[in-house]
A = this chain, B = another copy of it.
Amino acid sequence: MLRFPKFKFPAACMAIACTALAPAVLACTSLLYGDSNNQFYAGRTLELPMELPYKVSYYPAGTTFGSQADKHHVLEFTGQNAFLSIGMPDPVSGDVKVVEGVNEKGLTFSLLAFSSAEGPVDMVDNTQAVLSAIDLGEWTLSQFDTVAEVKEALEEQPVMVTSLLPLGLMKTPFHYALHDATGKSIVIEFANGEKNVIDNPLGVMTNGPEFSWHMTNMNNYTFMSNIDQSKLEINGVKLEQPDSGIATAGLPASNTSVGRFVRAVYYSHFAEKADDADSAITTLSHVMNNFDRPRGITIDNRFRDSIENITAPGVNHNRVYTSEYTTWISLTNLQKRQLYIRTYDSLNYIRFDLDDLTDVEEIRHVELKDVASGPSNATAALNP
């Protein structure tokens, strides 16, 4: 639980937020792209069948945080690094939880849905302070500079996968992708009762199944190449593909977590290495556009599945179906600590510059919807 003053949160909104955190209806693609100067850029989508009251927040260094896991003592920590984040309210407390963020050292954090998350059994004495998994964003962004530091710290720090709802419901159904300015990535995943902190040299993460399953699956795509094989002669017949683009023919077309993982590896790896930061961000934007899922493109029967699907609005003129769509996309320049966000209802990106907030000494929040269609540089909204 955070130590800064609680803001009120209407019950209806909480209900929505609650359902939004449910695993079956939240999908995400996170990837890391490097330019030709070894500078790195993180792209990330978030898919939900509904809108949530997202906040863009700034946390200065020196902010104090607290995390409580069930009956354990509160883990208190003070921020070493300022960070920018996109957050979602906790369904019960209303506290803002980090979904995506970048800190002043260029460490990024992405919370991604993982329905089968299952942490270790609680064997820790209640008098010991334990980190609640839902607070991993605040803890990593505020405390560490690199994924290596995070990895080392997690060897010591107990983390518990607590329930997000009363009665033990919804065991924090997420896993976590982190990238840093040196181009290293890790995944933090609680699966089968174990805490796994795994190096992620491909820099890609989506959703379930477990990260290790996806990595094994990549062995089914060893034929990947971006070079068009556009000519073939068989028995004297000269076949020729008149168009470019046949190289992607073997990629999976599915928009599921599994299909997106493979394509995210392909796109982040084969996109041209840009020669400067501006080109890198536009290149990354084109990459991420290939993971932009319009409402209606795939739909689910809203009454068949879980409660959260009932809460989500139906697609227009076909109310019995809901559709998971790309609520927003973020692009992060890890060297320049700039966070670009494009929401579903907006044609264009807005940008926040962490470096322009260094003189701000308190936590600041702004509703994402209030700035999404405003000026392209939205930093001022956090430093009015």
Contact = CB atoms under 8 A, between A and B. Distances in A.
A324 B282 CA distance: 16
B270 A257 contact: no
Contact of A348 (B234, B247, B376): B376
A231 to B, nearest CB: 6
Interface stretch (A63-71, A121-129, A157-165, A288-296): A288-296
Contacts of A258: 220, 243
Interface string A313-328: 0011100010111100
Contact of A347 (B221, B228, B301, B340): B340
A239 to B, nearest CB: 5
A296 B324 contact: no
Contacts of A116: 242
Interface in A217-248: 217-232, 234-237, 239-248
Central interface residue in A228, A259, A275, by most chain B CB within 10 Å: A228
A interface, size bucket: 35 or more
A358 interface: no
Nearest to A321: B227
Interface in A245-295: 245-260, 265-267, 269-275, 278-279, 281-283, 285-287, 289-290, 292-295
Given A221-B232, A283-B294, A296-B271, A256 B246 contact: yes
A255 B246 contact: yes
B294 A242 contact: no
B23 A242 contact: yes
A381 interface: no
